[in-house]
Amino acid sequence: MSEPAMPELAGELTGELAWGRHYLAVEPAHFRVDYVINPFMDLADQPDPVRVREQWDALVATLRGLGAVVDVLPQRADAPDMVYAMNLGLGVRSGGERKAVLSHMRFPQRRMETDSARDWLVEHGWTTSLIGRDGVGAHFEAGDAFPFGDALVVGYGPRTEELALKHLAAELGIRVRGLRITHPGMYHLDLAFCPLDERRALVCPSALDAPSAAALLDLVPEPLVLTEEEALSTFCANSVVVGRTVVMPACPDRVRARLEAWGFEVVLVDVSEFHKGGGSIRCLTNPVDITLGRDLPLTGGAQVVLAPH
């Protein structure tokens, strides 16, 4: 696969996120709502296939126009949610090696996605590993996992199980900071947390129990705190960052003002058809340029840190 131009140098010089310049996305040939596994899904409210394709094409074109690399994986006909590529697995790089810890979906309706993702990744030079399979073992969904600061920050509760944090830490030799998600509408961490650069992130504390919310706010030196209503009505935390540009599905005026004051440019891309399945821009894109030893400091062993209950 082609590589983005000098992502490490860009991050070191400016304090920007060094990752987020290379994505995997799934072409939405078969996106629809066949079942209900989150509060946004409604069998009577089906996405329009023409608008789906137009919105997805616009998102990919926007990311590529910002200089990001976007690789595209075909969608299985029997996997309508596969378009939410963020949940296929956690890809990391170390030296010249690429490794993906594949997701073990909590709901059986999505588990076949992992097989297709594994085949594609192996074909493109990745090695893969599993935390669980076919409902056996801990559940892990990669939309709950982000590198930030000194650790991989992982939400657990609705989709990812606490036991998965130990597997991730041991598999990668990193520190994992676990946050307990309690809000049914923000069932993945990517609906409530979006790293912006080395010091800043969008954070919606309402997604978490009180100790975890406090721990996340302590972890982020300069949080942009979202209200519950902002996060749920706009999906604004489910955004991606390419350098100093935040690609968002919508942006409340207050949030835009803060982002622009920090030197970010906000670019809006309408992906409202995908909101019918419970995901937005981050859910549709999986960063595959996260690097061990740079974005995720190696600890020499497994370390799991949980907020007190």
For the annotated catalytic residues, the residue numbers are 188, 283
Question: Do residues 182 and 209 touch, judged by C-beta distance below 8 A?
Answer: yes
Q: Which two tokens stand for residue 78?
A: 């029997």
Question: Do residues 27 and 56 touch, judged by C-beta distance below 8 A?
Answer: yes
- Residue 304 CB neighbours (<10 A): 19
* Separation CA 222–CA 215 (nearest Å): 13
CA angle 27, 97, 111 (to 5 degrees): 40
Q: Which two tokens stand for residue 279?
A: 């995901």
The one-letter amino acid at 249 = P
Beta pairing partners, 292: 296
Q: How far is CA 252 from the centre of its chain?
A: 21
Q: Which two tokens stand for residue 54?
A: 């137009």
- Residue 274 CB neighbours (<10 A): 27
